[in-house]
């Protein structure tokens, strides 16, 4: 078995036993990237020199017998909206094409302390606005299972890199499903922790009340390992929850017996393709076999989640993206006067989807419309959260498909924003309710394309969620999945 085919846990074990060195690991992954990247295009920046330097430094410390951290020598890909000091962070936008942050995001600091090696920055939908990674200002990323199809979005580059074994671990961000939906499309594990569990300091903001950073990995054990490193309280983030990090040992115990599982009726009904519905329902039998109980549950306000999200998220985006005006950093297009300079900079710097959402949000926040749109959306958000709270009085875990459809072809939905937005119909409610959720492969559809199963838990019940996912993965004979590139 080649090094790039190993899991993060296996790499960790081999380093501990001195069977492989950090330099050998990085060399293997850089060779893999060189061979596969022209097909996949998962990375905006491949940090070859930095990664080799980090590997050499780590090797010296290992030889001295120093404690180098729980992720020592393991490469990780970082979504390109997470700040990395002196490493380009573009958000896949022309307006930040040459932006080099002067500091590391908190999650990046934690990864470096744990010994992880940053191998590159991954492609994404511009400013995380999209469900296909076609909205990148640079190029689309392709799905490792079918190069004519999208990898999902907005963390499509991170998901494709992990699925294609161009990195064993990756970070993404999830505002309405941007970790879970690409994980589903690429046949891997994608985890959005509870809002506030992982620091957002250094994450370029899209919608601040919804954004959350999380892991993308080939398997649940690696997901747990990465979450353990980044799931920590951070005083630099005012929304960070002052709670202890869940125990690594407890999270690594597979347990699904006696779990009360609710199947969300509204997320198996209209709009969910037959193959997806059947694939997920076939997969949930593994929970029954392990001693869990299954029952249908209704969350009646979920039908309002999509319009609610597309008022709240663009409104927050309109506010957050006002800072990109050509004055302090990023692209500047000179023009006759300050106002024309603002207009030219934003026109040339932002792509069509970002402009669309800024306009939607500005309209919803404008005088005379705030109460009718934004305030009403916040009230609906409360009703959606109340539905989940009631369901969790009876159930430990809720289950649904991750995406209503399998991966679609590049160009198929790009000209129809509403169809594109519908691709996140199963994931958006979880962000509105600030819950933890995980996508894990349910198998393949008749075309050989991945289907994702979404598991949802109570706020800050990541341990229950991850233990159940680990039990399911161990019971499923075909996991983890692997594309035949």
CA distance 206 to 107: 17
Q: Choose, from 21, 79, 315, 318, the residue flagged as catalytic.
A: 79
Question: Which segments of 84-179 does DSSP mark as H helices, in order?
Answer: 106-113, 156-163
Q: Rounded to whole angstroms, how far apart are CA atoms 116 and 110?
A: 9
Is 48 noted as a catalytic residue in this protein?
A: no
Q: H/E element holding 216?
A: strand 213-217
From the list 132, 154, 155, 403, the catalytic residue is: 154
Q: Are 124 and 151 in contact (CB under 8 A)?
A: no
Q: Which residue has the tokens 């890199």?
A: 161
342 CB-contact burial (10 Å; exposed 0-12 / middle 13-18 / buried 19+) = middle
Contact 150, 133 (CB under 8 A): yes
> In whole angstroms, what is the distance from residue 276 CA to residue 288 CA?
19
Q: Which of 170, 159, 107 is nearest to 133 (CA)?
A: 159
Task: Tell me how long the chain is.
Answer: 485
117 in helix, strand or coil? Answer: strand
CA 57 to chain centre: 29
The pair of structure tokens assigned to 193 is 């922790």
Task: Give the chain's radius of gyration (CA, Å).
Answer: 21
- Closest of 481, 480, 483, 482 to residue 220, by C-alpha: 480
Phi, psi of 213 (to 5 degrees): -85, 145
Question: Out of 21, 131, 178, 318, which one is annotated catalytic?
Answer: 178
Q: Is 79 a catalytic residue?
A: yes
Q: Which of 70, 75, 69, 72 is nearest to 28 (CA)?
A: 75
In the three-class reduction of DSSP (H, G, I as helix; E, B as strand; rest coil), residue 55 is classed as helix
The residues carrying an active-site annotation are: 79, 154, 178
């Amino acid at each position: 078995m080649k090094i790039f085919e190993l899991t993060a846990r296996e790499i960790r074990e081999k380093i501990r036993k001195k069977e492989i060195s950090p330099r050998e690991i990085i060399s293997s992954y850089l060779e893999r990237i060189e061979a596969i990247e022209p097909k996949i295009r998962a990375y905006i920046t491949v940090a070859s020199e930095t990664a080799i330097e980090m590997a050499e430094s780590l090797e010296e410390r290992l030889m001295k017998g120093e404690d180098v951290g729980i992720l020592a020598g393991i490469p990780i890909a970082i979504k390109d909206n997470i700040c990395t000091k002196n490493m380009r962070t573009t958000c896949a936008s022309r307006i930040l094409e040459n932006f080099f942050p002067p500091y590391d995001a908190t999650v990046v600091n934690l990864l470096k302390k744990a010994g992880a090696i940053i191998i590159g920055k991954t492609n994404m939908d511009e400013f995380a606005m999209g469900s296909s990674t076609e909205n990148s200002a640079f190029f689309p990323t392709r799905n490792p299972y079918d190069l004519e199809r999208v990898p999902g979005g907005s963390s499509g580059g991170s998901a494709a890199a992990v699925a294609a074994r161009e990195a064993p671990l990756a970070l993404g961000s999830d505002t309405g499903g941007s970790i879970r939906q690409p994980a589903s499309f690429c046949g891997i594990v994608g985890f959005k922790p509870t809002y506030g569990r992982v620091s957002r300091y250094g994450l370029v903001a899209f919608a601040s009340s919804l954004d959350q950073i999380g892991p993308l990995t080939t398997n649940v054990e690696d997901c747990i390992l990465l979450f353990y490193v980044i799931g920590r309280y951070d005083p630099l983030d005012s929304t960070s929850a002052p709670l202890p990090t869940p125990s690594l040992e407890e999270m690594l115990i597979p347990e699904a017996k006696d779990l009360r599982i609710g199947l969300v009726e509204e997320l198996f009904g209209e709009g969910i393709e037959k193959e997806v519905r059947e694939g997920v329902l076939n997969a949930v039998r593994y929970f029954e076999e392990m001693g869990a109980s299954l029952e249908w549950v209704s969350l009646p306000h979920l039908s309002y989640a999509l319009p609610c999200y597309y008022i709240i998220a663009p409104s927050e985006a309109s506010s957050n993206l006002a800072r990109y005006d050509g004055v302090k950093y990023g692209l500047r297009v000179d023009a006759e006067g300050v106002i024309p300079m603002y207009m030219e900079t934003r026109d040339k710097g932002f792509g069509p989807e970002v402009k669309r959402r800024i306009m939607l949000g500005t309209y919803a926040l404008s005088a005379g419309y705030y109460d009718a749109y934004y305030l009403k959306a916040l009230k609906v958000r409360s009703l959606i959260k109340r539905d989940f709270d009631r369901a969790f009085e009876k159930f430990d875990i809720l289950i649904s498909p991750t995406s209503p459809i399998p991966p679609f072809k590049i160009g198929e939905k790009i000209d129809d924003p509403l169809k594109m937005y519908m691709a996140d119909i199963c994931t958006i409610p979880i962000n509105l309710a600030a819950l933890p959720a995980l996508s894990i492969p349910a198998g393949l559809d008749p075309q050989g394309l991945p289907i994702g199963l979404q598991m949802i838990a109570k706020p800050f019940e990541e341990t229950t969620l991850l233990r159940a996912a680990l039990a399911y993965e161990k019971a499923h004979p075909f996991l983890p999945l692997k594309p035949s590139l």
